[in-house]
Amino acid sequence: MTRTTIIGLAWSLVTGLAGGWLMLSPWAFAEQQSGSSWTDVTQTAFFTGLGLVVLALLGLVVAVGQAVRLLRTAGMIATAPRAARTTAAANGSPEFEGALVALAQALAADLAAEQDEAGQAPAEHGPGAVRPEPGSRSTGYSPTPPRRFE
């Protein structure tokens, strides 16, 4: 582990302990009687301590995340293979593509019907535009594959 991870964990511990003490101090010093309404001092101490505890938990999450990342880069923790993280939709199955094409055609027909009712001219790229046959690759659009940053 690096110094920053250890410092982050130590900061989280000290901050959490200080916050916990602030939350309990009105009762520990008998400044607040149990069962009575909270005084301004009790409210201030309790909610200040609560804020410190929340900061300590956030610091702990960040420090643990940094430690896990360092262990992965060192090869001590194996990462899950990318093939296991893909879904069926990302694989581009023919059934999924067919369902998307059918949905797009239904939406385009619905939009064209609404435009006809409103008396609007179809847009150049809208539902009334000339489209290539389904399954043809003559759209002139070739998407670039997403870039992966590792």
* pLDDT tens digit sequence for 54-85: 999 999 999 999 888 888 888 888 776 665 55
Q: Is residue 66 part of a domain?
A: yes
Instruction: Write down which residue in 73, 108, 128 finishes a domain.
Output: 73
Specify whether the CB–CB gap between 22 and 49 falls below 8 A: yes
Structural domain contains residue 109: yes
Chain-centroid distance of CA 12 in Å reads 23
Instruction: State the first-to-last Cα distance of the chain, in angstroms, to the nearest integer.
Output: 22
- pTM exceeding 0.85: no
The answer to whether residue 123 is domain-embedded is no
Q: Which structural domain, as residue segments, surrounds residue 63?
A: 3-73
Res. 101 pLDDT band, cuts 50 70 90: confident
| Number of domains observed in the structure of the chain | 2
Indicate if the alpha-carbon torsion angle 78, 79, 85, 86 is positive or negative: negative
In this structure, are residues 63 and 12 in contact, taking their beta carbons and an 8 Å threshold?
Answer: yes
